[in-house]
Amino acid sequence: MHLLRIHPAAHLVEDRGTALPSAAPEPGSFWWLACERTELEARLPEIQAMLQAVCGAPLLDLHVSDLLNAHIPSTSDYTSQYDVMLFHRLVDSGASDSPAAIRAAGKGGTAPPPTPVLQRVRTQPIGFAVYDQLLLTVHPPACPLQQQFQQRLETARQVPEGRPGAAKLPHSPADLMLRMLNQMVDGYLDLRRVMTRQLDHWQLSLLRPRAKFHDWSAVLDARLALHQLDEICEDQRGAVQDWIEAMDSWPDDSGHDRREHELLRVRSRDVLEHIERVIHHVRRIEQSAEAAVQMHFSSQSNRANDIMRTLTTLTAVFLPLNLIAAIFGMNFEFIPWIHQSHGFWWAVASMALIALALLVFFWRRRYLDRNSLR
């Protein structure tokens, strides 16, 4: 559990450690309380009392159960006092799945990843309870998103406002939540490069006519992973759309509040647009994978047809030769050329001439070509 007081007007980020706040922050600032699910479950009465004292309303039991659920899909809900957002982020299953490794893998090279990346799409939900002056985030154990944003806020605090490289602090709990959502969606956008790279490798392997493709189980697993990723992004899009609809009902009396709400709407629409880009790319990859499989089987079918056409043509060439050999192999005493000294060579020459004529005829009719003879 970690508590920060963020004062965007004063460009101040104050680290309060693990102590819970006992009162509302001073005007112009807000609290960010980040905790793990186990910590929320263990200190739930204390956190509920803090929310009642600071924000005037504790979490509903239904929302508490949603925040503690590690398998809940992305969803959004709201009350008159706070909003709740559950959003899935990608899980880094190893060093090769980190954002830096994903970006490096997409920059160049045509070699495939060491293992099919599409089999490693795993996600975990992160919960947000957005009050007017407090943001409660519920993370899985050792969540890198929490650590990244704490480090980012600490870096922003150390760089004075107005200097080059200074970052603007979030002006409200909702703004901080949307920045974290945008960071999670960017992880899906980074994954697109590796997904495309893996698919390109499979397409090249599938379309090689003489290569034998053995990764059918990986292709099927990838298709299932793409369907799962599509469902995850659809849930995310629905959650963000519900959030935007709920945000339209917020009061914005003063001009300052109206400007902040408009900035939140713009950032929310940006997050929604990023999610839709991921959905569009995932569906395009699904179509490309399906097209590659169909093209593979069509190529194999065409190659089998070419082989059968070549064999049929060669069989047709040797049919008259077999007939001539069968005629001269009959057990009759009087057969033309059978007792002549040059009869064998006349028969061989006529058979070769007939075979050559048939080959020329079939070549002119395009029953034989160089590709079919390979």
The pLDDT tens digits for 313-366 are 888 888 888 888 888 788 777 777 777 777 788 888 888 898 888 888 888 877
Confidence of residue 164 (pLDDT cuts 50, 70, 90): very low
What is the pTM for the complete model shown? 0.71
Q: Residue 227 has what pLDDT?
A: 83
Q: With 70 as the cut, is the pLDDT of residue 178 above it?
A: yes
Q: Give the residue-averaged pLDDT of 116-142.
A: 83
Q: Which fold has domain 305-364?
A: Methane Monooxygenase Hydroxylase; Chain G, domain 1 (1.20.58)
Please state, for a pLDDT cut of 70, what percent of the chain lies above it: 83
Taking the domains of the chain in order of start, what are their residue ranges? 2-299, 305-364
Of 129 and 307, more confident: 129
Dihedral sign, Cα of residue 90, residue 96, residue 98, residue 102: negative
Q: With 90 as the cut, is the pLDDT of residue 127 above it?
A: yes
Q: Give the residue-averaged pLDDT of 283-296.
A: 78
Residues paired with residue 6 on neighbouring β-strands, in sequence order: 13, 30
**Sequence-ordered list of residues with C-beta below 8 angstroms from that of 14, at least 6 positions apart, any chain:** 4, 5, 6, 7
- Of the CA atoms within 13 Å of residue 304, those in its CB half-sphere come to 6
Do 169 and 156 touch, CB atoms closer than 8 A? yes
Which of 143-157, 232-246, 262-276 has the lowest average pLDDT? 143-157
Q: Residue 65 has what pLDDT?
A: 93
Domain 2-299 superfamily per CATH: CorA soluble domain-like (3.30.460.20)
Nearest to 141 by CA among 241, 50, 64, 34: 34
Q: With 80 as the cut, is the pLDDT of residue 157 above it?
A: no
Q: With 80 as the cut, is the pLDDT of residue 83 above it?
A: yes
Of 171 and 368, more confident: 171
Q: Give the residue-averaged pLDDT of 272-278.
A: 89
- Residue 186 token pair: 């960017």
If you average pLDDT over every residue of the chain, what do you get?
A: 79
Q: Residue 165 has what pLDDT?
A: 44
Length of the chain: 374
Separation CA 261–CA 174 (nearest Å) = 10
Measured between alpha carbons, how far apart are the two ends of the chain, in Å?
Answer: 69
Confidence of residue 256 (pLDDT cuts 50, 70, 90): low
Do 317 and 254 touch, CB atoms closer than 8 A? no
Q: With 70 as the cut, is the pLDDT of residue 160 above it?
A: no
Q: Give the residue-averaged pLDDT of 178-204.
A: 81
Separation CA 282–CA 64 (nearest Å) = 32
Of 369 and 133, more confident: 133
Q: With 60 as the cut, is the pLDDT of residue 117 above it?
A: no
Q: Give the residue-averaged pLDDT of 55-84.
A: 91
Q: Residue 98 has what pLDDT?
A: 45
Q: Residue 134 has what pLDDT?
A: 92
Which of 103-112, 252-261, 309-318 has the lowest average pLDDT? 103-112
Of 210 and 183, more confident: 183
Q: Residue 135 has what pLDDT?
A: 92
Which of 56-70, 198-212, 330-344 has the lowest average pLDDT? 198-212
Q: Residue 362 has what pLDDT?
A: 82
